[in-house]
Structure 1
């Protein structure tokens, strides 16, 4: 345990930041999962709506430093590809 006041404060801040980042990461994963579940269910409209909701959340995660911009681009690309494949399969 830290003895110096600044180190104690840093430890408090680190714990608060860790909890905040964990919540934000969970939110990100939830929005991605909603798209995947809609695609698995075969509902194109629901999948597209979920994708439109997920994109801003993914982008804001990059701005907050939660994930790398390449990971965000990869996630959006893969989700988009799944939706496109679903629409081609049902057409």
Structure 2
């Protein structure tokens, strides 16, 4: 365990951030799963509205540092590509 006051504080802060980030990542995964299943079921109108809110959530997670910027771009790109492929067919 840490011996200095500042390292004890840093450890406490890490624990708080970890819990917050875990909750946010769980929320993100749940939204992604919902959107993917909606696209696969063929509910394209609902999927388009979900895509907008999901992209907004992904951007927020990226801004907060919960996910990396490149990971956020990858998620958005793959979701848009999946929706476009369902729309085309």
TM, length-normalised to structure 1: 0.87
The answer (yes or no) to whether the contact 1:35–1:51 under 8 Å persists in 2 is yes
3-state SS of 1:3 partner: coil
2:36 corresponds to:
36
- In structure 1, what is the Cα distance between the partners aligned to 2:66 and 2:27? 11
Indicate conservation of the 8 Å contact 1:31/1:53, yes or no: no
**Do structure 1's residue 78 and structure 2's residue 53 form an aligned pair?**
no
Superposition RMSD in Å: 1.2
Distance, in Å, in 2 between the alignment partners of 1:13 and 1:77 is 33
Q: Distance in 1 between matches of 2:6 and 2:68?
A: 30
TM-score, normalised with respect to structure 2: 0.89
Structure 1 residues without counterparts, runs of 5 or longer: none
